[in-house]
């Protein structure tokens, strides 16, 4: 058995429970609470004339009353997990409807006991301060302003409450207002308000808002009482505009208060408190958060929830970093560090009361109840040991200057830094960071820009002799600096974090002027030029926070396929991010004449409008630079949706720059052989990817099938098929009902043809596909090595535009009708086919006739059919068949390549 602790340390409180049927015993030291049926109470440890640990006592309410003589007598305030504390800020209490929403949230919390702290309705505290200000400066418009305050609350109450509660509230409001009127009148006459007068006045906003809320909660029938925290919270001034809570006295008063009104829900005023002498005062800045934290600690609450109008604490200022994310957890220290850097987190002193009892604070959005918010607690548990997760947030401070004091006379001379900083102190400057190298030849520190002139002057005076004698070589000021700070508790125990940070800064070409890291390692601070600051912030933030499969995409050629792709992306990006952690950002779109550039990603729901509104003259070199010089996104991709040979000629350079290339454009792979080989050699030697599935059979898996066969060691013997969606469509539909030229126009209309339909009819497009597959299979062929039977009449080859060609085509309809007839008479159909004879190293493209029962004769629409005959697929070829042209399927094939890239880069499958 454990030794029994000294008597004095253990006190027990006994009292009949609320129902009167049980007796409750609590050991004040061990905080053991017991609610037990009468007659079988096992009391916690105690000593002296009290029962010892574990001994049985027969207790009745009467016995409990008797034992009051034996133990410390106290009214009973339960403490611990049954309590949940909520604080609602001014915006949450802004309108009657919002106050009702607050009441609903309170009632929706299933905790056994709830303590609700509220701020004044939004703007009211400012109005109250202005009343005091006006009265003491003898501006008698304070009376009208007081009327406005009255009307605002009366209107809100009438909206929210009814019956007796409304009447009660209004009568209290009336009496408060008339008291205030008298007090303000006194201030007006005196032309002066003492601090306690003005504190008394300004605290009324909380009195009214909390009363309204408490009545609104009561409306539902819940047991709820209202607490004026001036009766409970006792504070003492601890500095200008600062107070310290007196926990012991406050706890006593809270217990006393509770014994009188032990409701399950208590709605209390935030912000206000009183001194030990019972003079009303306030908790000053961020007072209501502080109230909630103090009360949370007094009742040892399970949790304190601070309700506000943001989803939680961001990883960086979202106005500067659009990729900033809401942090799910933060340690107390991290929250501290971040609030120092002006992040909109809790005031550090708010954290102190709850920290000692490890009570978590949760920041939640009243206007987005589905957001889980940010939990601020001890060391957040169950975080993976991911290096990147060590840094919780980034913050910056602008408008700083760096002061550098340098000279050999500093090394090994005690007192130099003391002399420097006492000079700084004399001019009242605030030192924001300090850094000194261990050689001691220089010491540098950052101060606000507006204070640096005075600091520099003071240092020159202080070190005049040392400077003259050369012991100090200079006191130098570097203007226009900023601080970038990385905050994270686990940086301390994780090697490599600073390496990642500095690597990100180096890649963004940012020069670091000074560095500081405290031994606590909660924070790494770097000083840089202010002009680099946002870029540095974004580069560092993205390095730690962006998914590794974030793709920054530049789309070239928003024509039929490009536009369709952009629309498919628009509909799918959110889903990809949610389900696969793939973050796709289109950061540029360029057509032939204009281009649109974006830092963070074009809004794909309105890319066309943006393209019209924001676009600049197109310039491919600048477009590519925009992508390659971005330092935020880890992966860059150019998607070429043109049919342009010139665009295709740049792939080599882009891949060399580390930009991945994805395209449905056949020009690169079917262009000059030496260029093609050079491109593929580069690609194979690098980790930059080049995908072009849509160049053959559009979205059909032709290239990937062929690769799969080759890479697993199969031998390709022959590839043959119908490779042109356009020509497939034309011959599938040229059945004697419409003229040849009409069917061609239909194919163009349906989006199957190349921008110039002659590329299809001439067989060139099919020849390109044959070449692409031949080269993929290892043949070294040029386009000119492929004999092609052109369907473009000799006379139309010289037409200057696709339109002219389409206009003249009907004059050849007769010829086509005759050919079709002849085939039909023989029980055959016309089909335009391409073939790669791998064994003999040859390819061909020609118009052929097939029997009606041949698989090639069975196609419909724009179907392609491709048959691979290989050593493994010898008896029966492997056949891929389906629509091989058209906007949706082609763009889908390009999209597929984008996702293939993401999975190569490590996206989950
Ligand atoms: N249509 C299909 O079914 C299909 C199937 C597979 C592959 N493809 C290929 O897709 C590509 C696009 O075809 P499309 O039908 O969308 O053509 P399109 O003419 O509708 O679109 C091409 C776009 O690229 C733009 N462009 C041309 N040169 C440019 C340059 N240098 N810089 C920037 N923009 C430029 C044009 O202005 C146009 O907007 C072609 O290479 C084609 O072979 C199309
Ligand atoms: N014009 C091409 C588009 C697909 O590359 C065709 O008809 O097949
Ligand atoms: Na394909």
Residues in Cβ contact with 326 at an 8 Å cutoff, skipping those fewer than 6 apart: 311, 312, 313, 314, 315, 371, 373, 374
| Cα 641 to middle of ligand 3, angstroms | 14
pLDDT tens string 21-67: 555 655 554 455 544 333 323 333 333 333 333 333 434 444 444 34
The DSSP annotation for 213-234 comes to HHHHHHTTT--EEEE-GGGT-B
Q: Give the number of the ligand closest to the Cα of residue 885.
A: 1
Instruction: Please state the φ and ψ torsions of residue 729, each to the nearest 5 degrees.
Output: -60, -45
- The answer on 570 and 536 residing in a single domain is no
CA 905 to centroid of ligand 2, rounded, Å: 30
Contact in structure between 845 and 789 (CB atoms under 8 Å):
yes
Q: Which of 493, 517, 545 is the last residue of a domain?
A: 545
Closest C-alpha to ligand 1, atom 6: 698
Asked if residue 540 belongs to a domain, the reply is yes
Q: Residue 527 has which token pair?
A: 């000083």
Structure tokens at 825: 């008479």
Protein residue with its CA nearest to atom 4 in ligand 2: 885
690 shares a domain with 707: no
CA-closest residue to ligand 1 atom 40: 643
The closest alpha carbon to 718, from 877, 571, 863, belongs to 877
- Residue 270 per-residue DSSP state: S
Q: 749 in helix, strand or coil?
A: helix
* CATH number of the domain residue 666 falls in: 3.40.50.720
Task: Tell me which DSSP letter residue 879 carries.
Answer: E
Residue 739's domain is classified under what CATH number? 3.30.360.10
User: How remote is the CA of residue 754 from the centroid of ligand 2, in Å?
Assistant: 6
Q: Which atom of ligand 2 is nearest to the CA of 664?
A: 5
744 within 8 A of 806, measured Cβ to Cβ: yes
CA 540, CA 291: separation in Å to the nearest integer? 36
Same structural domain for residues 147 and 159?
Answer: yes
Find out whether the beta carbon of 885 lies less than 6 Å from any atom of ligand 2: yes
**DSSP state at residue 365:** E
Asked whether the whole model's pTM tops 0.95, one would answer no
Q: Measured from the CB, is residue 756 less than 6 Å from ligand 2?
A: no
The Cα angle at residue 170 between residues 168 and 173, in degrees rounded to 5: 110
Does the CB atom of residue 203 touch ligand 2 within 6 A? Answer: no
Cα of 833 from ligand 2 centre, angstroms = 13
Distance 897 CA to ligand 3 centre (A): 10
Cβ–Cβ < 8 Å for 665, 772: no
From the list 505, 476, 501, the residue with the least C-alpha distance to 487 is: 501
State the ligand closest to the CA atom of 644: 1
Please confirm, yes or no, whether 56 is among the known catalytic residues.
Answer: no
Ligand 2 lined by 760 (C-beta under 6 Å): yes
**Which string of DSSP letters, residue by residue, matches 808-832?**
HGGGGHHHHHHHHHHHHHTTEEEEE
Count: domains in the chain:
4
Question: Given ligand 1 and candidates 554, 556, 558, 560, which is best to mutate, with the most ligand atoms within 8 Å of its CB?
Answer: 560
Do 290 and 169 sit in the same domain of this protein?
Answer: yes
| Ligand 1 interacting residues, C-beta cut-off 6 A | 556-562, 590-592, 641-644, 646-647, 664-666, 694, 698, 725, 751-752, 754-755, 885-886, 890
Q: Report the separation in Å between the CA atom of 492 and the middle of ligand 2, taken as the mean of its atom positions.
A: 58
Strands 265-269 and 224-227: parallel
| 765 Cβ closer than 6 Å to some ligand 2 atom | yes
- Using CA atoms, how far apart are residues 829 and 820, in angstroms rounded to an integer? 7
SS (H, E, C) 658-720: CCEEECCCCHHHHCCHHHHHHHHHHHHHCCCCEECHHHCCCCCCCHHHHHHHHHCCCCEEEEE
Residue 182 lies in a domain: yes
As a whole number of angstroms, the distance between CA 390 and CA 321 comes to 19
Look up residue 126 and give its two tokens: 């400012």
- Residues 598 and 587 sit within 8 Å (Cβ to Cβ): yes
Same domain, yes or no: 522 and 574: no
SS3 string, 485-500, reads EEECHHHCCCCCHHHH
The residue from 87, 392, 666, 769 that is catalytic is 769
Measured between alpha carbons, how far is 420 from 824 in angstroms, rounded to an integer?
102
Cβ atoms < 10 Å from Cβ of 488: 24
Domain CATH number, residue 118 = 3.40.1160.10
Residues 783 and 668 in one domain: no
Beta strands in 326-410 (DSSP E): 329-331, 361-365, 374-377, 393-406
CA–CA gap between residue 398 and residue 449 (Å, rounded): 9
Ligand 2: centre distance to CA 750 (Å): 11
Short-list 398, 226, 254, CA closest to 320: 398
> Does residue 451 lie within any of the structural domains?
yes
* Whole-number pLDDT of residue 863: 96
Q: Are strands 224-227 and 272-274 parallel, antiparallel or unpaired?
A: unpaired
Ligand 2 pocket residue status of 169, Cβ below 6 Å: no
Contact call for residues 262 and 312 (beta carbons, < 8 A): no
Does some domain include residue 584?
Answer: yes
Structure tokens at 693: 């599935």
Strand partners, 662: 639, 691
Please report the atom of ligand 1 found closest to the CA of residue 595.
33
Identify the three-state secondary structure at position 247: helix
- Residue 886 CB less than 6 A away from ligand 2: no
- What's the CA gap between 495 and 826, in Å, rounded? 80
Atom of ligand 1 nearest to the CA of 563: 16
Instruction: Confirm if 431 and 447 have CB atoms less than 8 A apart.
Output: yes
Nearest-angstrom CA–CA distance, 246 and 235: 5
Indicate which ligand has the atom closest to the C-alpha of 897. Answer: 3
Domain annotation covers residue 575: yes
d(CA 607, CA 91): 35
Q: How far is CA 230 from CA 235, 269, 685, in A?
A: 10, 8, 74
Please tell me if the CB atom of residue 764 comes closer than 6 angstroms to any atom of ligand 2: no
856 C-alpha to center of ligand 2: Å?
A: 17
CA-to-CA dists, residue 440 to 37, 406, 413, 544, 701, angstroms: 72, 9, 9, 33, 66
Q: Are residues 92 and 161 in the same domain?
A: yes
The best mutation among 554, 556, 557, 665 to test binding of ligand 1, ranked by most ligand atoms within 8 Å of the C-beta, falls on 557
Ligand lying nearest the CA atom of residue 596: 1
Q: How far apart are CA 141 and CA 136, in angstroms?
A: 11
Residues 432 and 461 both lie in one domain? yes
Distance separating alpha carbons of residues 61 and 437, to the nearest angstrom: 72
Domain boundary residue, one of 309, 332, 366: 309
Kindly state whether residues 228 and 266 are assigned to the same domain: yes
- Rounded CA gap, 15 and 41, in Å? 12
Q: What does DSSP assign to residue 194?
A: -
Distance 889 CA to ligand 3 centre (A): 9
**38 lies in a domain?**
no
Structural element, H or E, at residue 12? strand 12-16
Q: Which domain holds residue 506?
A: 391-545
Residue 397 phi/psi, 5° resolution? -130, 125
* Shortest-distance Cα residue to atom 3 of ligand 2: 885
664 and 744 both lie in a single domain: no
In-domain check, residue 45: no
Here the CATH number for the domain that contains residue 502 is 3.30.2130.10
Q: How many helices (DSSP H) and strands (DSSP E) are in the chain?
A: 31, 35
Of 545, 575, 609, the one marking the end of a domain is 545
φ and ψ at residue 612, rounded to 5 degrees: -75, -40
Mean pLDDT, each 10-residue run in order, the chain (909 residues) = 36 56 54 40 34 38 43 62 94 95 96 95 94 95 96 97 95 96 95 89 95 95 94 89 91 91 92 92 84 95 93 88 87 82 72 90 94 86 58 90 88 82 92 82 92 96 92 93 89 80 87 81 88 91 85 97 98 92 94 94 96 94 95 92 97 96 98 96 91 97 97 97 96 94 95 92 96 97 96 93 94 94 95 97 96 92 96 96 96 97 87
User: How far is the C-alpha of 325 from the C-alpha of 330, rounded, in Å?
Assistant: 13
Question: Are 716 and 659 members of one domain?
Answer: no
Co-location of 94 and 157 in the same domain: yes
The span from the CA of 667 to the CA of 768, in Å, is 8
Reading the block at residue 837, the tokens are 């004879």
Name the β-bridge partners of 479: none
Residue at 784 is within a domain? yes
Residue nearest to atom 38 of ligand 1 (CA): 559
């Amino acid at each position: 058995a454990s030794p029994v602790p000294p008597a004095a340390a253990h006190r027990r409180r006994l009292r009949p429970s609320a129902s009167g049927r049980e007796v409750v015993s609590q050991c004040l030291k061990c905080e053991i609470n017991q609610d037990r049926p009468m007659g079988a109470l096992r009391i916690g440890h105690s000593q002296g004339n009290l029962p010892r640990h574990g001994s049985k006592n027969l207790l009745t309410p009467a016995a409990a009353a008797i034992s009051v003589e034996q133990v410390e007598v106290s009214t009973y305030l339960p403490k611990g997990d049954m309590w949940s504390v909520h604080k609602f800020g001014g915006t949450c209490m802004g309108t009657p409807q919002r106050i009702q929403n607050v009441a609903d949230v309170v009632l929706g919390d299933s905790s056994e006991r709830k303590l609700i702290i509220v701020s004044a309705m939004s703007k009211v505290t400012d109005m109250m301060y202005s009343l005091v200000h006006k009265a003491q400066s003898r501006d008698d418009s304070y009376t009208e302003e007081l009327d406005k305050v009255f009307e605002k609350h009366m209107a809100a109450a009438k909206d929210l409450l009814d019956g007796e509660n409304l009447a009660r509230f209004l009568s209290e409001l009336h009496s408060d207002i008339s008291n205030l009127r008298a007090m303000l009148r006194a201030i007006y006459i005196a032309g002066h308000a003492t601090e306690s007068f003005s504190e008394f006045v300004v605290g009324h906003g909380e009195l009214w808002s909390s009363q309204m809320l408490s009545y609104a909660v009561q409306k539902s029938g819940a047991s709820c009482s209202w607490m004026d925290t001036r009766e409970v919270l006792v504070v003492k001034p601890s500095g200008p505009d600062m107070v310290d809570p007196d926990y012991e006295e406050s706890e006593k008063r809270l217990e006393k208060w509770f014994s009188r009104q032990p409701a399950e829900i208590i709605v209390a005023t935030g912000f206000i408190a009183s001194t030990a002498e019972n003079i009303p005062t306030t908790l000053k800045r961020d007072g209501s958060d502080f109230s909630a934290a103090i009360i949370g600690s007094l009742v040892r609450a399970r949790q304190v929830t601070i309700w506000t109008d943001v989803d939680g604490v961001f990883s960086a200022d979202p106005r500067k970093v659009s990729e900033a994310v809401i942090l799910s957890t933060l340690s107390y220290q991290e929250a501290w560090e971040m609030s120092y850097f002006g992040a909109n987190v809790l005031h550090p002193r708010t954290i102190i009361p709850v920290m000692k009892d490890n009570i978590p604070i949760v920041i939640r959005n009243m206007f987005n109840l589905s957001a889980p918010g940010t939990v601020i607690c001890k060391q957040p548990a169950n975080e993976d040991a991911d290096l990147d997760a060590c840094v919780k947030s980034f913050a910056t401070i602008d408008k700083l200057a760096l002061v550098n004091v340098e000279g050999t006379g500093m090394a090994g001379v005690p007192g130099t830094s003391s002399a420097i900083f006492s000079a700084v102190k004399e001019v009242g400057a605030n030192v924001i960071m300090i850094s000194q190298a261990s050689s001691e030849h220089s010491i540098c520190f950052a101060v606000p820009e507006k204070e640096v002139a005075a600091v520099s002057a003071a240092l020159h005076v202080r070190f005049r002799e040392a400077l003259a004698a050369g012991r100090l070589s200079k006191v130098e000021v570097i203007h226009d600096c900023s601080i970038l700070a990385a905050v994270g508790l686990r940086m301390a125990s994780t090697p490599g974090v600073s390496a990642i940070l500095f690597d990100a800064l180096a890649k963004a070409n940012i020069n670091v002027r000074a560095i500081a890291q405290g031994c606590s390692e909660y924070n790494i601070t770097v000083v840089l030029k202010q002009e680099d600051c946002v870029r540095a912030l974004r580069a560092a933030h993205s390095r730690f926070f962006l998914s590794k499969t974030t793709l920054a995409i530049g789309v070239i050629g928003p024509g039929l396929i490009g536009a369709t792709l952009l629309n498919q992306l628009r509909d799918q990006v959110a889903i990809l991010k949610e389900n696969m952690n793939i973050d796709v950002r289109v950061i540029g779109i360029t057509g032939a004449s204009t281009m649109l550039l974006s830092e963070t990603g074009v809004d794909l729901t309105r890319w066309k409008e943006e393209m019209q509104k924001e676009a600049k003259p197109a310039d491919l070199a600048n477009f590519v630079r925009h992508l390659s010089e971005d330092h935020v996104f880890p992966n860059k991709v150019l998607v070429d949706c043109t049919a342009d040979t010139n665009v295709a000629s740049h792939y080599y350079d882009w891949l060399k720059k580390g930009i991945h290339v994805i395209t449905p454009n056949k020009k690169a792979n079917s262009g000059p052989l030496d260029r093609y080989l050079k491109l593929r050699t580069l690609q194979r030697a690098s980790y930059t990817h080049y995908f072009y599935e849509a160049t053959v059979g559009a979205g059909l898996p032709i290239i990937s099938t062929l690769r799969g066969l080759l890479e697993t060691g199969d031998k390709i013997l022959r590839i043959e098929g119908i490779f042109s969606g356009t020509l497939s469509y034309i011959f599938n539909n040229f059945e004697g009902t419409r003229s040849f030229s009409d069917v061609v126009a239909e194919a163009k209309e349906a989006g199957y043809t190349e921008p110039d339909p002659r590329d299809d009819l001439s067989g060139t497009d099919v020849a390109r596909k044959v070449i692409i597959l031949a080269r993929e299979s290892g043949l070294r062929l040029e386009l000119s090595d492929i004999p092609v039977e052109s369907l473009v009449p000799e006379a139309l080859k010289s037409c200057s535009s696709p339109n002219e060609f389409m206009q003249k085509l009907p004059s050849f309809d007769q010829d086509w009708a005759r050919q079709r007839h002849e085939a039909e008479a023989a029980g055959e159909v016309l089909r335009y086919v391409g073939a790669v004879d791998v064994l003999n190293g040859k390819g061909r493209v020609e118009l052929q006739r097939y029997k009606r029962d041949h698989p090639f004769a069975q196609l419909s629409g724009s179907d392609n059919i491709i048959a691979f005959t290989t050593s493994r697929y010898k008896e029966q070829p492997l056949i891929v068949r389906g629509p091989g042209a058209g906007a949706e399927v082609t763009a889908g094939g390009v999209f597929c390549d984008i996702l293939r890239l993401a999975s190569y880069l490590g996206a989950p499958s």
